[in-house]
Amino acid sequence: MLPDVEALMAANQAFYDAFEAADLDAMSEVWQHGDDVLCTHPGWATLQGWAKIVASWYAIFQNPQRLQFILTDPSPSVRGDVGWVSVTENLLDGPATSTVAAINLFVRDDRGWSMVAHHGSPVLRA
Amino acid sequence: MLPDVEALMAANQAFYDAFEAADLDAMSEVWQHGDDVLCTHPGWATLQGWAKIVASWYAIFQNPQRLQFILTDPSPSVRGDVGWVSVTENLLDGPATSTVAAINLFVRDDRGWSMVAHHGSPVLRA
């Protein structure tokens, strides 16, 4: 794997690690904190801007049930200082399972890759 | 609006024009035709590669009912030769209405902006 793709995949993994750990500080580290960052949780309308997005993570992390992600079909792309990863999230939510199709978009600056968009959607048919 | 953002928004509009017209040639013009392009229709698993994606548009366009899109909350971003547009698709499907949250990702080359990812997801809660 090329070094920039490797770093992109590490940033993508850091997102899921923060999600699984319900760690708001770690999630905050993953994201850019601008007014134009975008987050679409499965079934939700799109949230724009870090203030709304961090509030959504705070609310999601209140749920005492921890999610577990098994990631499949990872497909990373890098073009200049923009990278994106398509991935299938196979979710274990206690005894329940579900599948989410996700695309994660990152921008690179001096401190590495930062998330600027996450879009997850429920897979309702095979 | 900056010229490159204007061109990005025009490419985004061309996608919806092709969709509304159910015009496979126009849809083909909008997209890059590589093996790593990505398309997630609402409720579907992610399709990767132009062959699968064009087959999905062919299947969708067989539906004689034409969709009508009213686009709201457009949010374009450009970083180098990559651009993305977040938009809310308010869909009229005959008498039915539905809402889809979408992100559309484009890459710029000599011939302008080409779509490399479309991810639409059903908005199931406000």
Cα separation of B84 and B49, whole Å? 19
Query: What integer pLDDT is reported at residue B27 of this predicted model?
Result: 98
**What is the predicted ipTM?**
0.94
Q: pLDDT grade, residue A3 (50/70/90)? A: confident
Domain range for A45 is 3-122
Cα separation of B126 and B121, whole Å? 13
Cα separation of B50 and B39, whole Å? 9
Mutate: best of B5, B50, B86, B100, partner A, most A CBs <10 A: B86
Higher pLDDT, B126 or A34: A34
Cβ contact B45–A117 (<8 Å):
no
Cα separation of B28 and B15, whole Å? 9
- The total of structural domains in chain A comes to 1
Mutate: best of A108, A119, A124, A125, partner B, most B CBs <10 A: A119
Q: Which residues of B touch A48 (CB under 8 A)?
A: 73, 75, 86
Q: Which residues of B touch A46 (CB under 8 A)?
A: 73, 86, 88, 101, 103
The whole-chain average pLDDT of chain B stands at: 95
Are the CB atoms for A44 and A36 separated by under 8 Å? no
Cα separation of B25 and B29, whole Å? 6
How close, in Å, is residue B44 to chain A by CA atoms? 5
How close, in Å, is residue B31 to chain A by CA atoms? 16
Cα separation of B17 and B23, whole Å? 8
Q: What is the pLDDT of residues B79-103, one digit of tens each?
A: 999 999 999 999 987 788 899 999 9
Are the CB atoms for B120 and B102 separated by under 8 Å? yes
The whole-chain average pLDDT of chain A stands at: 95
How much is the pTM? 0.95
Q: Which residues are B87's β-sheet partners? A: B102
Q: Which residues of B touch A101 (CB under 8 A)?
A: 40, 44-46, 119
Q: What is the CATH number of the domain that holds A73?
A: 3.10.450.50
